[in-house]
A = this chain, B = another copy of it.
Amino acid sequence: MTSRYESGLTKLNELAPGAADSMMDTFRDVCPDLAKYTIEFPFGEVLQRDGLDFRTRELATIAALTAMGNCQPQLKGHISGALNIGCTQKEITEVILQMSVYAGFPAAINGMTAAKEVFELLDDHDAE
């Protein structure tokens, strides 16, 4: 195991506890290296970098995924992750709302629906 893998694992677990195991498990039989690369490059290199704090990085990712509009599972994962590292629900919904300007209202509405589903799931967990 490379040190990029190990530090990526730590970073990913900070954002989404259990996600690394789940991703390794999902892709074990089809393409385990996709999980390995995901841990090594985005989490082990890019998101480790100085010059921009992790919270702002997650808000930037939420902006991009909302605007692209074709990767709802990842958008939900990053909304949940952003909350885990200290972003507020308000910061997240403001970023998504702002995308109505740059990517149109359907993108913003679908992004906000993703946020609503994540928030409600977490509320249900908290209520248990």
Contacts and interface: CB of A to CB of B under 8 A. Distances in A.
Contacts of A41: 37, 41, 101, 105
A122 interface: no
B27 A116 contact: yes
Contacts of A106: 65, 68, 70-71, 73-74, 102
Chain A interface, DSSP helix/strand/loop, else mixed: helix
Q: How many copies of this chain does one complex carry? A: 6
Interface residues of A, number: 62
Nearest to A33: B97
| Listed residue (A73, A94, A110) with the most chain B CB atoms within 10 angstroms of its CB | A94
Contacts of A110: 70-71, 73-74
Interface of A: 23, 26-27, 29-31, 33-34, 37-38, 41-42, 45-47, 49, 51-52, 56-57, 59-71, 73-74, 88-91, 93-110, 112-113, 115-116, 119
B67 A69 contact: no
A116 B69 contact: no
